[in-house]
Amino acid sequence: MSMAGLKTKARPEWCPGCGNYGILSNFLKVLEDLLTEGLEKEKIVLVSGIGNHGKIVDYVNVNSFYSIHGRALPVAQAIKLANPDLKVICFVGDGDSYAEGLDHLIFAAKRNSDITVLVHDNRTYGLATGQFTPTSPVNYKGPTIPYGVKEIPFNPLELMLASGATFIGRAYPPHQQHFQTMLKAAIMHRGFALLDILQVCVFYNNLYDFYNQHVYETKLEDLSSFAEAWQLIRAWDYNSEAPIAVGTFYQVEKTTFEEYHPRLTPLQPSRRISVEEALARFV
């Protein structure tokens, strides 16, 4: 399967310069490589939330499911639980999953559900014309908050580490080779993987210059060290001028949620059964 075969006929319609273009092109390249290495296209499912990030599923020619705002994670977990053979990849936004869907995100990490969550973290509600999100910095100004944000942003990766995620990373699409490496690592991790992507909204929160000056690539020697991951994740608090590390911060192997709930029988063609037969299965 070539990259051309992975594209749909739909034309991407984001603002010129939007960070989503870089996410899409690099994701297609990684998907092409994974298919070459043996991943089956029919076993890939994309799930999206609501926001500009959600359009990405229109542009990738694989199975996909649009969820409602903040609810991509329950859908993804249900799909994976129903058929553990599938590779389930979630595209969500910082407003979508760090706000409305935060409870679902925490519980998916706690359960170690075997899904990949790719967060388009542009630190603004781009589709909602510039409202602030949980990762917007103090004094961020938008059309709906002209006097500036007066809330301190939280660090979502710190929250994910405390919640039990088994893969945690941050990536910056303009660093293309590194970004592709991070995408592949997150997708192929067995267990709950979250990659916080520094995706830039050029219209409401253009952070390209800031990121280009502060982002650096790093690699921890011991990815299983909770203490080292905690220290590196806390080094940038989403509200400072500190250097911003990108890379894998934490990765461990643990029993997945789906392994605790194995499918009872192989998938079979559906057929009508009697009430008595259905009840007998629970005896």
pLDDT higher than threshold 90 for residue 206: yes
Q: In angstroms, rounded to a whole number, what is the distance separating the alpha carbons of residues 180 and 32?
A: 11
DSSP class of residue 100 equals: I
Q: What is the pLDDT of residue 254?
A: 97
Task: Report yes or no: 44 and 62 within 8 Å, Cβ to Cβ.
Answer: yes
Mean pLDDT of 102-119: 97
Instruction: Look up residue 266 and give its two tokens.
Output: 């192989």
Q: What is the pLDDT of residue 98?
A: 94
Q: Could you give the percent of the chain with pLDDT greater than 90?
A: 75
Q: Helices in 143-223 by DSSP H: which ranges?
A: 156-163, 176-188, 208-214
Task: Report yes or no: 81 and 50 within 8 Å, Cβ to Cβ.
Answer: no
Residue 164 backbone zone (phi > 0: left; psi -120 to 50: alpha; other: beta) = left
| Dihedral angle sign, alpha carbons of residues 223, 247, 178, 156 | positive
Instruction: State the amino acid at position 31 in one-letter form.
Output: L
Q: In angstroms, rounded to a whole number, what is the distance separating the alpha carbons of residues 244 and 162?
A: 20
Mean pLDDT of 104-127: 94
pLDDT higher than threshold 60 for residue 276: yes
Which candidate, 70, 29, 28, 78, places its Cα nearest to that of 48?
70
Specify the pTM. Answer: 0.90
Q: In angstroms, rounded to a whole number, what is the distance separating the alpha carbons of residues 9 and 47?
A: 19
Q: What is the pLDDT of residue 4?
A: 62
pLDDT higher than threshold 80 for residue 38: yes
Q: What is the pLDDT of residues 122-143, one digit of tens each?
A: 998 887 777 889 999 999 888 8
Please report which confidence band the pLDDT of residue 267 belongs to, taking 50, 70 and 90 as the band edges: low
Please report which confidence band the pLDDT of residue 1 belongs to, taking 50, 70 and 90 as the band edges: low
pLDDT higher than threshold 90 for residue 261: no
Question: 3-state DSSP call for residue 60?
Answer: strand
Domains of the chain: 3-280 (3.40.50.970)
Q: H or E element: which one contains 227?
A: helix 226-234
Beta strands in the chain (DSSP E): 44-48, 63-66, 87-93, 116-120, 167-171, 193-197, 215-217, 244-251
Within 10 angstroms of residue 112's Cβ, the number of other Cβ atoms is 25
Q: What is the pLDDT of residue 102?
A: 94
Instruction: Look up residue 83 and give its two tokens.
Output: 């058929």
Mean pLDDT of 239-265: 90
Q: Both ends of the chain: CA-CA distance in Å?
A: 46
Q: What is the pLDDT of residue 185?
A: 97
Q: What average pLDDT is seen over the chain? A: 92
Instruction: State the amino acid at position 54 in one-letter form.
Output: G
